[in-house]
Structure 1
Amino acid sequence: MLEILQHEKKIIGIKQTTKALKQGKAKVLYIANDADQHLLKPLVEMANTNGVEVVHVESMKKLGKACKIDVGAATAVVLK
């Protein structure tokens, strides 16, 4: 499921992910299980409300690597 992040248009990071969800541009939300759940809970709720698929990733490091960045990522969104 992470392979899609390497080929699709995406946004990485909590602030940008939030913006994409609010604007209705998100198709799939990826969240790292080891990120601060306090920050991620509103994003998951927004995704569920808007019918956006939520995919849990084992770690921020794996999510960052899947997004082809050298640092960990708490969230990423594949755009419509």
Structure 2
Amino acid sequence: MLENNKNQQKSPKRRFLLILGFTAFICFIALGLLIIFWDKFPLDMPQSRRTIFGSVILLYAILRFSRYLKKNPNEN
């Protein structure tokens, strides 16, 4: 019976949320890397604070993505 659930297609709502989750993850990763490495980024901060801020955004992206991948036991 477990094999049947793996072979079923996801509903359009779940598919849309999956795509939205991946898109948000990619956007947060890109934003964090831009803040860290782009020297002309329009933030008036010292490099050390920009590195910390960018790292926090990267960490948030990873945590958000890992929570998204965690399977809810009530879901099929």
Structure showing greater radius of gyration is 2
**Shorter-chain TM-score: what band?**
under 0.3
Relative contact order, CA 8 A, sep 6+: which one is greater? Answer: 1
Q: What's the TM-score once normalised by structure 1's chain length?
A: 0.22
Q: What's the TM-score once normalised by structure 2's chain length?
A: 0.23
